[in-house]
Amino acid sequence: MRVEARLFDITTGFFFLAAVVYGVWSREPAGTVGLILTGGLSLIIGSYFHFVARRVARRPEDNPEAEISDGAGEVGFFSAGSYWPVTIAASGGLAALSLAFMQIWLLVVALICILGAVAGLVFEYHTRPNATD
């Protein structure tokens, strides 16, 4: 996690430096505030990565002398044939359209569809515990 934390440290510094330069050079407040807020959001994410990096074991990505084979092994289980991500995206699109046209009833339907699709994705491979007779 140290690599990610360092990446966000660099982007945070860039955004704050860009805010100072932009604010002095253009004297336009909206862009300056936008750059300051972007730097603040980057600072939040970087702080989270620093917090997590202290609590997790060191990964091969954090070791500059690591070999590619050090990162070998199982990464996780990713379903290649799941339709739930498409369903979530379609439900999100429906929610965006309902907001664009200010159709509150359609937004309620879209939010129900999003919750159902997320539940379907989460519980796709969930199996019941074996019932003992």
- The pLDDT tens digits for 16-25 are 999 999 999 9
Q: In this structure, is residue 105 part of a structural domain? A: yes
CA distances from 95 to 28, 116, 120, 124, 132 (A): 34, 14, 18, 23, 44
48 and 7 within one domain: yes
73 Rama sector, left if φ>0, alpha if ψ -120 to 50, beta otherwise: left
Q: In this structure, is residue 98 part of a structural domain? A: yes
pLDDT in tens, 56-91: 888 888 888 989 888 888 877 777 889 999 999 999
Residue 123 is given by DSSP the state: T
What's the distance, Cα to Cα, between the start and end of the chain in Å? Answer: 47
22 and 60 within one domain: yes
pTM for this model (two decimals): 0.58
Instruction: State the Cα torsion 43-44-47-48 to the nearest 10°.
Output: -150
60 and 7 within one domain: yes
60 and 88 within one domain: no
DSSP annotation string for 8-27? HHHHHHHHHHHHHHHHHHH-
Enclosing domain of residue 48: 2-64
User: At CA 116, angle to CA 126 and CA 88, rounded to 5?
Assistant: 100
59 and 8 within one domain: yes
Q: In this structure, is residue 117 part of a structural domain? A: yes
Taking Cα atoms as reference points, which of 85, 86, 74 lies closest to residue 122? 85
98 and 48 within one domain: no
pLDDT in tens, 98-118: 999 999 999 999 999 999 999
Q: In this structure, is residue 7 part of a structural domain? A: yes
